Amino acid sequence: MEKLSVEAIIAKINRAETFSAVAEDYSFTLKIETYVPFMCAAIHDGHQFRRELWDNCLHTEYDRWYEEDPETKYMINTQPIVLAGLDSRFEYDLNRPPEEAVFETAWGKQLWRNSLQIDMKQRSLDKHNNFYKVVDAVIAQLELQFTNCIVYDMHSYNWQRWDREVPTWNLGTTNIDNDRFGKMVEVWRKSLSEIKLPNNIKSTAKINDTFFGNGYFLKHITSNFKNTLVLATEIAKVYCDEYKQVIYPQVVESVRKALQIKIPEHAESFNKTFNH
């Protein structure tokens, strides 16, 4: 893995080079092993939190971890194109538009003891902006090569705070072209429902049951690239104890192994449907 500037990363993408890199400010990683008509992303996997923000933050390290999506990068890391955030969404949220990306309050609780200085906020927004420059470069290159492509937008959610039974997997689809891509959504939902998990964990999968696909990552790509389907894919945090901050490695590994097979299978079905 190389440490590269955003400009160098984009130049490599524009030349269709393969590489593995971390941004020079360590805000995200991008791996491109080969150019294929699908990409995987884990934009909320990050847990880093800038040192200059620590003393001013009212949320604990656990509070931040609880609302992040731990292990989602690992679940997809065998795929050929993987983009992942390294910074916590409590510094800036890559799934919110720039004007909302730096929180004042987070999940009903004031985030900062004192309002952020303008320069501190701008440092976070610059990282948000650079990330989306790279997103645009990757999708533009994939559409150039393949015309139609797909993005698996991996997230996780805290299922134990719901007061009803919720699915193991949820797909948010309200902001995609369902007339065009609806059949591929259902194929993906069915595939996820067939994953076998240890510890007698059920693997149910529903569409727009807990979340609806309202994230900025999906909206940004969908509004700027008409031939790219973004599948906002949420797994309930059945792979950890969300209250004790304990990860269950055997469950994480079973999800990773299942997605290692199921993502390329689904992507191939999409490719045959839309690129032939």
DSSP output for 110-146: E-BSSPPPHHHHHHHHHHHHHHHHHHHHHHHHHHHHH
Residues forming a β-bridge with 75: none
pLDDT score of 109: 86
Rounded Cα gap, residues 90 and 109, in angstroms:
12
Instruction: Calculate Rg over the CA atoms of the chain.
Output: 18
The HSE-up count of residue 90 (CA atoms within 13 Å, CB side) is 28
Domain covering 2-274 in this structure, CATH number:
3.40.630.40
Secondary structure element (H or E) that encloses residue 3, with its range: strand 2-4
pLDDT score of 126: 97
pLDDT score of 108: 84
Chunk the chain into consecutive blocks of 10 residues (it has 276) and report each block's average pLDDT, rounded to whole numbers: 98 98 98 98 97 94 96 98 97 97 90 93 97 98 98 97 94 97 98 95 96 97 98 98 96 98 98 91
